Structure 1
């Protein structure tokens, strides 16, 4: 009867440490997924897949919140029901072990709230992007002063490509220009050498 933890963060620059600290540590085994959206089905995440394979009857799976299991209500409910059928106890921080019909009902409501929040995040992001496009079209800048959406262009791809063709090597051009070889390769694809 092992105590197992599962952690998930949506972006690579986030840390699971706050989840681990809140759950109190001292687990027999830990599994995690880094940089994986909650919209990805639980069994399609490598960390959770390994966790599900490891769990045995009588084990307790500890998670920080329902949305760490996922943000798709049906997937979360299916995942928890499958674990319960296997004899695994699912313990959600602040909620406790999911047991019986009442536990499943609370889980269903929380999973639906997690999915609603995900939908609201998408709506807010889309609305912000639409507003930024309008601002750029009318004033030339977004509310935050950017002149375009996406990552800013940091290098002159045409100049990089031209210099790389002159030097005859991606590695030589990258070293001479102080950029990565990937940047030189992209520039070459964008501005292929024209035969004389």
Structure 2
């Protein structure tokens, strides 16, 4: 019996796989996912994708939300698709259809290259924005967006948090409640001396 299998992946910045699951809409015999896994990790090294590769069989159909879900870059995508097709698995990409044959593989190669190019362009734009912010901060004391630092602003003054905790002999939880911080932030502030 052949199975219809779905694979979902979202990076650390994405909220959950539910958007992909909803958009792909079908009922699947099995679902595999990797949530919070960086796109820089090869697909075969992701726990969910590795489990998928171990259980998928000849005649099964794999459904994915987008081409870039199948690998970290164009080469990884091509390697994984070739591996799946050689194993007798059909690969179906939402909005693109079934990948197979010379034309399908050519289209896949092109789309994977475009996805990789877009990731590089995003990285370049991000780096350029950081450089502009650094220069503005150095020249004016504020970034080009009016912030007083490049990083995330502190939720509270770390020294003040440490002093209050020490003076009140308070627990991490009590200190977090007092300042409206998470316990992890209080621990980080108290450890940074």
1:63-102 aligned within 5 A: 63-102=64-103
Preserved contact between residue 4 and residue 60 of structure 2 (Cα < 8 Å): yes
Q: Deviation at 1:175?
A: 4.7
Preserved contact between residue 71 and residue 111 of structure 1 (Cα < 8 Å): no
Preserved contact between residue 33 and residue 48 of structure 1 (Cα < 8 Å): yes
**More off after superposition, 181-190 vs 70-79:** 181-190
Equivalence for 2:39: 38
The superposition leaves residues 42-61 of structure 1 with CA deviations (integer Å, 9 ceiling, x where unpaired) of 01212212222221110000
CA shift in 2, pair 1:142/1:60, >3 Å: same
Preserved contact between residue 5 and residue 30 of structure 2 (Cα < 8 Å): yes
Equivalence for 1:55: 56
Whether 1:26 and 2:32 are equivalent positions in the alignment is no
For structure 1, which runs of at least 5 residues remain unmatched after alignment?
192-196
**More off after superposition, 155-164 vs 9-18:** 9-18
2:112 counterpart SS class: helix
Distance 1:25 1:36 in 2: 24
Distance 1:177 1:9 in 2: 33
Q: TM-score if structure 1 supplies the norm length?
A: 0.86
Q: Deviation at 1:153?
A: 1.2
Equivalence for 1:183: 185
Aligned residues: 191
For structure 2, which runs of at least 5 residues remain unmatched after alignment?
none
CA shift in 2, pair 1:173/1:65, >3 Å: closer
1:145 counterpart SS class: coil
CA shift in 2, pair 1:71/1:120, >3 Å: farther
1:95-174 aligned within 5 A: 95-168=96-169, 170-171=171-172, 172-174=174-176
